[in-house]
Structure 1
Amino acid sequence: MKDLIWIEVSKSAVINNFKQLRKIVGKGVVLSVAVKANAYGHGIKEISKLLVKNGADWLAVNSTEEAETLRNDGIKKPILIMGFVQKKDLAKVVNLSARIFLYDMSTAEELSKIALKKDKKANVHIKADTGLSRLGVLPYDVLSFANELKKMKGIHIEGIATHFATNDDGKDGGFFKAQLETFRNIANTLNKNGIKNLMINGSNSAAAVICGGLGFNIIRIGIAVYGYHSSEYVKNHCKKNKIKFIPALSLKTKVAQVKEIGKGSCVSYGCNFISKKKMKIAILPVGYYDGLDRKLGNNGYVLIKGEKAKIVGRVCMNMMVVDVSGIADVSPEDEVVLIGKQGGLEITADDIAKQTDTINYEVLARLRESIKRYY
């Protein structure tokens, strides 16, 4: 490989994961795959085309920019924008034939006006805040909000949506069930008041895996498509039920230099690692600019020649240092695995998340977008 740093994405792993989810939820359910945040670091364009080719019904993004990227790349499937859309971008929403989560009346009014000028109707999903306290209309306001939307000739209410706060840890104390009941009550109330045939949009990867989608007719799946679980609880559930998701992404670099340093040598900024004996180190041309957490310093490890090499000293912007004292014949330009497999060993995003006190989502999503990805 000619690159200093690169990412390899297994198409077969992504396809396997998607098909596992399709099998769980059944054929009659719309699968809307989250490809926001550069497809969780995997590359939004290639992953989206791959998913569409293998049966994804919809794609879900965060922004108009991401929706525009997909349309410009020839994606014709329905696109749902789940994040905040500024009024200045509403014309783009209509032009792109994208759906949006809607929760603000002034935004609805402006969107309707723009759609009417273009002789179109904008498809919207009312976003209900059932307990996450993020974007959304509070439960007691949803019906009046929906009734106002019905009066707008440029708006078509296609669905009702929410986000669950605690459906993946197995110990939420009933909060998930309360949110679910609130959401179902909202959907039933809308139906009784003449707002019928809505797409019920609430389940995520965890809900799909554990609950089979909760009977909703559209399911947003994300982390599972990329081979990971949102919690140990979900992971254990999958293991028990023989559901196998395969991590799709590998992050690699090369050795830049190998040298021996003496006892008492300072390694990297701050000198928070001092060698206790003579040791052999390798310098790697990768750092926090590329998405690696500084907390990996003196904590994480990489794989070189199929063996673990501990990261020593602070992770720098574009470099890090690893201890290769126990690894024979390490040379400049040898392949280094930061995420993925080498020999019989593997480093996963879960491993890095534990070492840096974060979650696998962040480990993947923060990988620099300009790193070359190979599929």
Structure 2
Amino acid sequence: MEFNKFKVSSLMDITARPDLVFLRGHGSWLEDDTGKKYLDFIQGWAVNCLGHSPKEVVNALSEQSRLLINPSPAFYNKPSVELATSLVDASCFDHVFFANSGAEANEGAIKLARKWGKVHKKGAYKIITMKDSFHGRTLATMSASGKPGWDSIFPPRMEGFIKAGLNDIESVKELIDDDVVAIMLEPVQGEAGVIPSDKKFMQDLRKIADLNNLLLIVDEVQTGMGRTGTLFAYQQYDIVPDIMTLGKGIGGGIPLSALLARDSVCVFSHGDQGGTYNGNPLCTAVGLSVLNAINNSNFMKSVVVNSDFLSQGLSNISDKYDMNGERGMGLLRALVLNSDDAPAIVELARNSGPTGLLLNAPRSNLLRFMPALNVSKDEISLMLEMLDNLISKILKR
């Protein structure tokens, strides 16, 4: 398949992509090979927390690439030590392992929990995860996920993952036996439709974990790094998890993720965990620049202000068209429609001209919004105006 001057059939066909090729981006905007510009409220699925090609990332890449790119994870390097120290100082955790993707970080969390169960719980290995959850696309993280239909893909599925209902503490209690080692969940289920965990539910999970000698794992691949209005979402629940995973926003667009754990949980022996690119100085230098930008009181205040502004704007649209409201935490939000028009709205938004709008529909009746954390109020206003017009056009059809 070819369009314009690009032959795209050389790429493996693993998702439905529109017929456009992006050439450049800056902040909240992308530009394709025809020169058309798009207001981006997906940002790589919450990856580009500082927008496209932010100066922090560009400068870190440029400076570090002239110094050292990858000496091997068998040696210490300055950026990885500095980023690990900063993450530990900013959280309740003691140690960090760097990886390349959220799924890889979650694989590490699963391995660490099972190793801890082997050492401290007579080989306990089962992990309670949540229905409709999403933890990645590796074999283990697909088995851990509760996404409908995934239990029948790539059989046999990895055993040891049992599903409870989000915000249903009784369903968690019913699953606990001597073989259970941990409870793992997203503070906000992103792929399921931006469904936040209740504060009481999270606090009850911590109590149940303590009572039954279980680990509590929070998957903050999507919610971490300021996305929900605090540096980490768990901080809004007043709990102390045992393990946390980060991805997406931690690299600001560069492949980087992290597995963080409390000292008492860190039972890996040498050789249990590793990877060719893990903790390389190029990516961790970028991660440090992103963390320094986000972990600033004025920056986070702006995130909270813009979150409220976006939330109110989406609520106004919902009221205007008699929809089912909006929900979310921080700048991870969803508009719940009263129809299955979300995919049509996404397509119309992208194809509308002369300026396009990039939106995401994880469910047919729901739109998800993941703008850059430094999105401006004017850009939010423009998105809301465009969305209002799009919905009106869809309804007239």
TM-score by shorter chain over 0.5: no
Question: Rg larger in 1 or in 2?
Answer: 1
Q: TM-score w.r.t. structure 2 length?
A: 0.32
> Which of the two has greater strand per residue?
1
Which protein has greater RCO, CA pairs closer than 8 Å, 6+ apart? Answer: 2
Q: TM-score w.r.t. structure 1 length?
A: 0.34
